[in-house]
Amino acid sequence: MLKFSMSKIHVIIPAAGSGSRMGQEIPKQFSSFHGKTLIEWVDFIFSNVSAVDTISIAFNSHERNNVENSNYTFSHKTKIYYSGGNSRSETVLNTLELMESFTSDDDWALVHDSARVGITESFINSFIKEVTQDNVGGIVAIPSVDTIKKVNQSKKIIKTEDRDTLWLAQTPQMFKYNKLVEALKKFNGIPTDEAEAIESLGLKPIVYKGLITNFKITYPEDLINMNQIFSTIIKGKVNG
């Protein structure tokens, strides 16, 4: 399969969160799921995308013994870092800086959550093909189908938003390597995602319509719901 551009594509998977809302002792990225952990599935999915050159997984330093002494299987494209920070953005920036030796400024950095397994190789290929045509980059997002209400601290509605202009951000989020490093370094505070940091530079990322199955596993019921649909999409991941 031909590359979509001459620039390399580097995937970063921040996997340093505690996943406390799952209500289990282990972080959710290590949850067992269809014979693998969630993080192994995400790595497996992206490793099968030929346009992806490298994968960097960022764990917390205190997970080193767990990762190195377990039978986790990662791809030949994958490097493991113990670069977890106090926030997702810090983890991503730490990892981007550790990747400097094998990246160029014009390369792409694609960030994907460790708990989004409902994505397929064909979708990733389409996303990459679209986003690499944009000068800034872009994110996967879902257009809002529900009416959005803005409320105050007392949970009183103060405004009804125009849902036609509102999208719910997901991952992957992909930007030029040097721009993402610059954006994360310069951001005042903690950005909620990579796109917010890029936006703070005055840049306008594109949105690429996502998959309903690409939801983030956050609560125990999310894992149950994903389990029900995963067997129907896994064939595409293995064979696609």
Does the pLDDT of residue 238 top 70, yes or no? Answer: no
Band of residue 4 on the pLDDT scale cut at 50, 70, 90? very low
The gap from C-alpha 185 to its chain's centroid, in whole angstroms, comes to 19
Residues sharing a CB contact under 8 Å with residue 212, sequence separation 6 or more, in sequence order:
142
Per-residue model confidence as pLDDT tens digits over 8-67: 999 999 998 765 444 456 777 887 777 889 999 999 999 999 999 999 999 999 999 989
* Dihedral sign (CA 60, 62, 68, 70): negative
Amino acid at site 154: S
In angstroms, the CA 191 to CA 148 distance is 22
Give the tokens for residue 97: 């800086």
Q: How far apart are CA 56 and CA 92, in angstroms?
A: 10
Q: How much is the pTM?
A: 0.89
Q: What is the pLDDT of residues 79-134, one digit of tens each?
A: 999 999 999 999 999 999 999 999 998 999 999 999 899 999 999 999 999 999 99
Token couple for 132: 């690499």
> CA 188 to CA 210: how far, in whole Å?
29
What does CATH list as the number for 9-239?
A: 3.90.550.10
Domain borders along the chain are 9-239
